[in-house]
Amino acid sequence: MHNPPLNQCIYCGAKPGDVAWVPKDKMTRALLLEDFGREHIVPEGLNGHEVLGKASCPKCESITSDFERVIMRDSAWALRSTIGHKSGVKLPDTAAFGYLPIYNVPAIFSGQVEHNPTFGLLPIQARREDLRQMKKKATEIRPSTFTLDKSAWFRFIAKIAHGLAVKRWGLGGFLPLLPPTILGEREDHWNYVGGCPEGLEGEGVHVIQSYGIHIHAFDQISKEGAEFALVKIRLFSNAKGLPTYQAVAGLLPGYDPLILHEMYARGFHVPAA
If binding is defined by CB under 5 A, does position 175 make contact with Zn ion?
no
From the CB of residue 211, how many other CB atoms can be counted at a distance below 10 Å?
15
Among 42, 57, 83, 107, binds Zn ion (CB under 5 A): 57
* Closer residue to Zn ion in complex, CB, 12/152: 12
Instruction: Establish if 12 lies at the interface with Zn ion (CB under 5 A).
Output: yes
CB closer to Zn ion, 16 vs 212: 16
Closest CA relative to residue 224, chosen from 104, 111, 106, 107: 111
- Closest CB to Zn ion among residues 36, 77: 36
Out of 31, 41, 42, 60, the residue judged to bind Zn ion by CB under 5 A? 60
Inter-axis angle of helices 58-70 and 150-169, nearest 10: 130
Q: How many residues bind Zn ion, per CB under 5 A?
A: 6
**Stretch of 59-67, 96-104, 149-157, 254-262 contacting Zn ion, by CB under 5 A:** 59-67
**Does residue 63 belong to the site contacting Zn ion (CB under 5 A)?**
no
d(CA 20, CA 16): 10
Pick the closer one to Zn ion by CB: 61 or 74. Answer: 61
Report how far residue 4's alpha carbon sits from residue 252's, in angstroms, rounded to the nearest whole number.
22
> Would you count residue 11 as binding Zn ion (CB under 5 A)?
yes
Per CB under 5 A, 169 contacts Zn ion: no
Helix (H, G, I), strand (E, B) or coil at 101: strand
Q: How far apart are CA 215 and CA 80, in angstroms?
A: 16
According to DSSP, the β-strands at 119-125 and 37-40 are: unpaired
Minimum CB separation of residue 11 from Zn ion in Å reads 5
Tell me: does residue 52 bind Zn ion (CB under 5 A). Answer: no
- Using only the alpha carbons of the chain, give its radius of gyration: 19
Part in contact with Zn ion (CB under 5 A); list of ranges 53-61, 113-121, 197-205, 254-262: 53-61
Nearest to 48 by CA among 1, 104, 115, 118: 1
**Residue whose CB is less far from Zn ion, 39 or 50:** 39
Torsions phi, psi for 109 (to 5 deg): -60, -35
> For Zn ion, which is the closer residue by CB, 60 or 83?
60
The alpha helices in 71-107, defined as continuous H runs, are 77-82
From 60-68, 145-153, 154-162, 216-224, give the range in contact with Zn ion by CB under 5 A.
60-68
Is 14 near Zn ion (CB under 5 A)? yes
* 3-class DSSP assignment, residue 77: helix
Q: Are 98 and 149 in contact (CB under 8 A)?
A: no
6, 9, 166, 231: residue in contact with Zn ion (rule CB under 5 A)? 9
Q: Which of 272, 223, 232, 273 lies closest to 252 in space, CA to CA?
A: 223
According to the binding rule CB under 5 A, does residue 231 interact with Zn ion? no
Shortest reach from residue 130's CB to Zn ion, in Å: 42
Contact residues: Zn ion, CB under 5 A: 9, 11-12, 14, 57, 60
